[in-house]
Amino acid sequence: MPYNKRVFIFFRESSDETLQKYVWLLNSGFEGQWIGHNEMGQRRPVAPGAPLEIPKVIMGPAFREAAAGLEDAVKYLIVVQGSSGAAAMKLMVCETRDEALRTIFHECLNGYSTVFTG
């Protein structure tokens, strides 16, 4: 089955400023669930935002070759969002580069953007 959907793919370095935008999600303990904030700033599961017509993927330095002997110690962090932007995000943690790439591809097929990889 051919993939007939446009995707924007960007390669960029991750900065501390970028990481700080997602620290609350990384620390939330919610993996694989769509999470948002309510009016009081509390984290809670939410419905995913609507899929995007053209999702984007931001690939960070995490997808470079791992240092020899460290492949088993590396985990890949992926933050996904839809049309609602930061109102609903999902954290995915993958054990291998292949698993992470399959996860990103799956999210693209469903119309969701990968906004952070680490």
Give the residues across from 13 on adjacent strands.
none
Residue 28 and residue 35 in contact, taking contact as beta carbons nearer than 8 Å = yes
Residue 77 is inside which H or E element, if any?
strand 76-81
Stretch 100-110: mean pLDDT, rounded? 93
The tokens of 16 are what? 């501390």
| Secondary-structure breakdown of the chain: helix, strand, coil percentages, each rounded to the nearest 5 | 30, 25, 45
> What average pLDDT score do residues 97-117 get?
92
Residue 112 confidence (pLDDT): 94
Interval 36-94: pLDDT, tens: 887 787 888 899 889 999 999 998 887 776 655 666 777 889 999 999 888 899 999 99
Q: What is the mean pLDDT of the chain?
A: 85
| Mean of pLDDT values over 103-107 | 94
Token pair in block for residue 39:
């009016």
Query: Exposed, middle or buried by CB within 10 Å (0-12, 13-18, 19+), for 26?
Result: middle
Please give the model's pTM, rounded to 2 decimal places.
0.84
Integer Cα distance of 27 and 117 in angstroms: 15
| pLDDT value for 1 | 53
What's the rounded mean pLDDT across residues 2-25? 81
